[in-house]
Chain A
Amino acid sequence: MLDYAWIIAFIPAVSFVAILLLGRKFPRHGSEIGIAAVGASFVLACVAVVQWINRVENATGASAFKALGKGFVAKAGEHEAVVKPVVHSVTWWQSGGLKFGAGTQIDGLAVVLLFVVTLVSLLVHVYSTAYMHGDRRYTYFYAALSLFTASMLLLVIADNTLQLLVGWELVGLCSFMLIGHWWEEGANSNAALKAFFTTRTGDVGLMIGVIVTFFAAGQTFNIVSINEAALAGKGGHALWLGGAVCLLVGIIGKSGQFPLHTWLPDAMAGPTPVSALIHAATMVVAGVYLGARVYGVFWQGFSIDAGGVNAMALIGGVTIIIGALLAFVQDDIKKVLAYSTISQLGYMVMGLGVGAWTAAVFHLFTHAFFKALLFLGAGSISHSGSHHSFDMKRDMGGLRKYMPITFTTFMIGSAALAGLPPFAGFFSKDEIIATAGHFGYDAFLYIGLAGAFLTAAYMTRAIYYTFFGEFRGHGQPHESPPAITGPLVVLAAFSVFAGWLNATVVHVEKFQQWFEPRFAFPTQVIHPSFRFGEGAIAVIVALAGVGVAYAYYWRGVGHGVTERNPLARLGYRFLLNKYYLDDLYERVIVAGIKGPIARAAYWTNQNLIDAVINGVGKGTRAVGQFTYDVIDQRVVDGAVNGIAEASGETGGLLRYMQSGRVQWYAAILFFAVAVLSLALIVFS
């Protein structure tokens, strides 16, 4: 399969055409074609993963199954063998002596992405049969999903930057089509346009970057050659710095990094399965994928091993904090998740920036599962719980009673996102944070920890509003059909177990061993071993986030909890409903110590502890609101709007040329042609 990986991308492309032409004729309006095609791709992707693992294990002297038999303990010396990527290329076209190839480059990174994309896409296909049931453009929706899957796979298997660019633009187009799926509402089509144009802004950088690296690497688009040339520093450091900056602009646009992140929350106007597939698990990580793909360019350009601070890590770090703070002030559950995605993408970009390649890709891998899970969970809530509303404050609340499966899986996804062990997010996030300290990026270590705190807190808030308290919507909420809960359960399983692939805490480093490149890759990348101190701090920070948010939001509900110490209540939760002890406590002891002690305790409780908790909560909220109001809405949007207005003014002057009458245009055309011919006559 490694040699014929193009088939994996080709199947959904065929499915796209088939659905478009024949979809309506089928009993289920084309969805079965899409599911079958992506299912086939998924099986082939699994085969590719197994074959790749075998290839790595053979190179290091053992088969995958033997390795499994021996247990997951990695041995020293296993990482040294060189495993070249499987590259196949055909000449696409020739021009001026240059050959432009189209081909596949299959290595660890590619098989990881193949697996993630096909799995999430398959689950989203299944999920949409229920979620999009009865939609007026159901067939079209499946056609677009197939096209998206094909484009994303094309991007993933690309062996040259030009093909990567083609896939990159195609997924952008599909994103546009799917965000605007319900284009009858103006807001949706505006959101689609905003997403398209904002990412296009970044794409300009990417295109220039592709051209710069083309010349810097000696006139080749080939990714392996570019990485080799970059690591050798061919042509001087400044050239690679320029290339890296341009490519970084592309990453900023596609992966929703500050300051071009504004499109991603708006993109939530699309159907929820689309948000899960495109704006959480796959397309938005294309930027991170690009960063991981041509890592040599960034390594060389930003001198990542030098430590201190660099543009990539800085952008990622800023994005982590900005995204996480914004998530606090959203009422729309999908927007909370969107800002969370921005923040998590910030982790990945920062991870690449601080030299944590494996950790960043590993986080990409685990994040795809739990974020897709959370989005699909939100979709399940809106589908069956809140009458197609995403407003947590008005239409949700108390849903844990009605939707047990959605609730459980959502909790698992949140725990994974918050980085609580033993869920997937813990291992990947912790590795990014741990590696940040390695090359001397200490500042980013603290940013990562702060982000972990905020992440845990805002997810707790979202869960509170969604699942606890009284149901505030109307109608009768109920659990979603199996087509929706099935994918949730599968993703929940991955959210629990995926992290153990690289659980450094028990010395399992299979992800690194199997999927990290050994060829045309910076050799200085080092994987610090797990330190319990750092891990513990990360967990404590995350728990603190949960605790603070828990205390703050549950207190506000007023179900008699306000009288008590929230921290004590938190303790109660951990003590698991021992109500007979509580009775004993109330009847025997409370009677005894009523009076001054109780009152003193009460005072401390109300004035000291609550003040601290309320203060932290309010402070966080205020900072979030400030970031949203001033930085996001005024500064960033202001700059964007300013550029738009300048264009508008110019356009206003030029509109007199645009009378809308075809013959006027034709007159200009003919006249211009004649003038140009005259110029040619005169000057030749």
Chain B
Amino acid sequence: MVAENVAFWIIAAAMAGAAIGVVRTQNVVHAALFLVVVLAGAAAQYILLAAEFVAWVQVLVYIGAIVILFLFGIMLTRAPMRGDTELDNDQRWIAAVTALFVLGVLVFLLVDAFGDRAIKVDDSLRAVGLSQHVADSIFRTYVMPFEIVSMLLLAALVGAVAIARRD
């Protein structure tokens, strides 16, 4: 239990630092790399929560595909590589106040609602996270949403082509 907690806090600290890096760095490529750290950290947290299948999908889809997309986006929009241009706009302080305000409300709510209730990590939880059960659930209970999501992906594909096409 202690080992898990230690792992959690180390990963969480890395994620928090990287997340701040994503939103504060003045170099666009660095931001993408910080994002990789956050995403990988999230995958590690999933493993701590015995959700291995989700963790691997996270790595494959997010780090493998989405971050690459971002890098393409950076390249195609010829974003400045060096930190010589301003990447932030002039409402930084409003943004900070809003974010902190939302954070305060959320933390208050969470502490109020869940106190120190624990997650019981045991064999039954590990059984739940097996990809067999995830697959069962997707293709039995949630088969309709699954199909709809596939339609959504198709629509997004067509939409992205239609929007970005040069004509």
Question: Known: A663-B91, A664-B91. Contact between A681 and B105, CB under 8 A?
Answer: yes
Q: Please, how many angstroms separate the alpha-carbon atoms of A681 and B102 in the complex? A: 13
Is B98 in contact with A667, judged by CB distance below 8 angstroms?
yes
Is B91 in contact with A681, judged by CB distance below 8 angstroms?
no
Is A678 in contact with B105, judged by CB distance below 8 angstroms?
yes
Is A663 in contact with B89, judged by CB distance below 8 angstroms?
yes
Q: Which residues of A contact B91 (CB under 8 A)?
A: 663-664, 667
Q: Whole-angstrom distance from the CB of A672 to the nearest CB of chain B?
A: 10
Residue interface mask B101-140, A partner, CB < 8 A = 1 = 1100100110010000000000000000000000000000
Is A674 in contact with B109, judged by CB distance below 8 angstroms?
no
The chain B residue sitting closest to A669, CB to CB, is B98
Q: Please, how many angstroms separate the alpha-carbon atoms of A306 and B101 in the complex? A: 65
Instruction: Place the interface of chain B in its size category.
Output: 10 to 19
Question: Known: A667-B95, A667-B98. Contact between A674 and B89, CB under 8 A?
Answer: no
Is B105 in contact with A667, judged by CB distance below 8 angstroms?
no
Instruction: Place the interface of chain A in its size category.
Output: 10 to 19
The chain B residue sitting closest to A664, CB to CB, is B91
Is A677 in contact with B105, judged by CB distance below 8 angstroms?
yes
Q: Which residues of A contact B101 (CB under 8 A)?
A: 671, 674
Is A671 in contact with B105, judged by CB distance below 8 angstroms?
no
Question: Known: A663-B89, A664-B91. Contact between A674 and B108, CB under 8 A?
Answer: no
In-complex Cβ contact of B98 among A670, A678, A681 (8 A): A670
Tell whether B164 is near chain A: CB-to-CB under 8 Å: no
In-complex Cβ contact of A674 among B94, B95, B102, B112 (8 A): B102
Q: Which residues of A contact B94 (CB under 8 A)?
A: 667
Q: Whole-angstrom distance from the CB of B78 to the nearest CB of chain A?
A: 22
Q: Whole-angstrom distance from the CB of B118 to the nearest CB of chain A?
A: 24
Q: Please, how many angstroms separate the alpha-carbon atoms of A678 and B108 in the complex? A: 10
Q: Which residues of B contact A677 (CB under 8 A)?
A: 105, 109
The chain B residue sitting closest to A672, CB to CB, is B98
Residue interface mask B80-93, A partner, CB < 8 A = 1 = 00000000010100
What number of residue pairs across chains A and B have CB atoms under 8 A from each other?
Answer: 24
For window 93-110 of A, CB contacts with B under 8 Å fall at none
Q: Please, how many angstroms separate the alpha-carbon atoms of A681 and B95 in the complex? A: 23
For window 641-684 of A, CB contacts with B under 8 Å fall at 663-664, 667, 670-671, 673-674, 677-678, 681
Q: Please, how many angstroms separate the alpha-carbon atoms of A681 and B112 in the complex? A: 10
Q: Which residues of A contact B108 (CB under 8 A)?
A: 681
Q: Please, how many angstroms separate the alpha-carbon atoms of A667 and B102 in the complex? A: 11
Q: Please, how many angstroms separate the alpha-carbon atoms of A377 and B91 in the complex? A: 62
Q: Please, how many angstroms separate the alpha-carbon atoms of A673 and B103 in the complex? A: 12
The chain B residue sitting closest to A675, CB to CB, is B101
Q: Which residues of B contact A671 (CB under 8 A)?
A: 98, 101
Q: Whole-angstrom distance from the CB of A665 to the nearest CB of chain B?
A: 11
In-complex Cβ contact of B102 among A663, A664, A670 (8 A): A670
Q: Whole-angstrom distance from the CB of A253 to the nearest CB of chain B?
A: 39
Residue interface mask A232-251, B partner, CB < 8 A = 1 = 00000000000000000000
Q: Whole-angstrom distance from the CB of B99 to the nearest CB of chain A?
A: 8
In-complex Cβ contact of B109 among A667, A670, A673, A681 (8 A): A681
The chain A residue sitting closest to B99, CB to CB, is A670
Q: Please, how many angstroms separate the alpha-carbon atoms of A397 and B91 in the complex? A: 67
Q: Whole-angstrom distance from the CB of B103 to the nearest CB of chain A?
A: 9
Q: Please, how many angstroms separate the alpha-carbon atoms of A371 and B101 in the complex? A: 65
Q: Please, how many angstroms separate the alpha-carbon atoms of A674 and B99 in the complex? A: 9
Q: Which 7 A-B pairs have the closest CB atoms?
A: A674-B102, A671-B98, A674-B101, A677-B105, A670-B98, A674-B105, A678-B105
Known interface pairs A667-B94, A678-B105, A681-B109; 14 further A-B residue pairs with C-beta atoms within 8 A, sorted by A's residue number: A663-B89, A663-B91, A664-B91, A667-B91, A667-B95, A670-B99, A670-B102, A671-B98, A673-B102, A674-B98, A674-B101, A674-B105, A681-B105, A681-B108
19 inter-chain pairs at a CB distance below 8 angstroms, sorted by A residue, are A663-B91, A667-B91, A667-B94, A667-B95, A670-B98, A670-B102, A671-B98, A671-B101, A673-B102, A674-B98, A674-B101, A674-B102, A674-B105, A677-B105, A677-B109, A678-B105, A681-B105, A681-B108, A681-B109
